[in-house]
Amino acid sequence: MTHAPAPVRRRGRPQTGLAFIAPFAALFALVFIVPIAYAAYLSLFQDKLVGGNVFVGLDNYTKLVADPQFWDGVGRVVRFTLVQVPIMLLLSTALALALDSLRLHGARFLRVTIFLPYAVPAIVATLMWGFLLGVKYGLFGSLNDALGTDFDPFSPGTTLISIGVMVTWAFTGFNMLIFYAALKAIPRELYEAAAIDGANEWQIVRAIKLPALRGSLVVTVIFSIIGTFQMFNEPQILPTMVANSGVTSFYTPNLYAYNLAFTGSQQGYAAALALVMAAITIAVAYAVQIRGLRNATDQ
Nearest to 88 by CA among 154, 30, 171: 171
pTM here is: 0.85
Determine the pLDDT at residue 295: 63
- List beta partners, residue 48: 52
In a domain, 3, yes or no: no
- d(C-alpha 175, C-alpha 230), whole Å: 18
Q: What is the CATH number of the domain that holds 234?
A: 1.10.3720.10
In a domain, 13, yes or no: no
How many Å is the maximal CA-CA distance in the chain?
104
Determine the pLDDT at residue 172: 95
In a domain, 23, yes or no: no
Sign of CA dihedral 248, 253, 254, 256: positive
Determine the pLDDT at residue 181: 93
Determine the pLDDT at residue 65: 92
Q: What residue spans of 6-138 are helical by DSSP H? A: 13-28, 34-42, 59-65, 68-100, 107-115, 122-133
Q: 195 to each of 94, 128, 188, 192, 202, how far by Cα in Å?
A: 21, 46, 11, 5, 11
Number of neighbouring beta carbons within 10 Å of residue 107: 15
In a domain, 27, yes or no: no
Q: How many domains does the chain have?
A: 1
- d(C-alpha 170, C-alpha 92), whole Å: 11
Number of neighbouring beta carbons within 10 Å of residue 56: 18
Determine the pLDDT at residue 69: 95
In a domain, 251, yes or no: yes
Q: What residue spans of the chain are helical by DSSP H? A: 13-28, 34-42, 59-65, 68-100, 107-115, 122-133, 139-147, 159-184, 188-196, 201-204, 210-212, 214-229, 233-241, 253-262, 267-298
Residue type, 156: P
Are 260 and 270 within 8 A, CB to CB? yes
Determine the pLDDT at residue 215: 87
Q: Which mean pLDDT values do the consecutive 10-residue runs of the chain (299 residues) have?
A: 54 73 90 91 82 83 94 95 95 93 82 92 90 81 84 89 94 94 89 84 88 90 91 90 86 94 88 93 86 63
In a domain, 47, yes or no: yes
Are 104 and 110 within 8 A, CB to CB? yes
In a domain, 20, yes or no: no
- d(C-alpha 69, C-alpha 81), whole Å: 19
In a domain, 10, yes or no: no
- d(C-alpha 232, C-alpha 39), whole Å: 19
Are 115 and 175 within 8 A, CB to CB? no
Domain with 138 in it? 35-298
Q: Supply the DSSP symbol for 231.
A: -
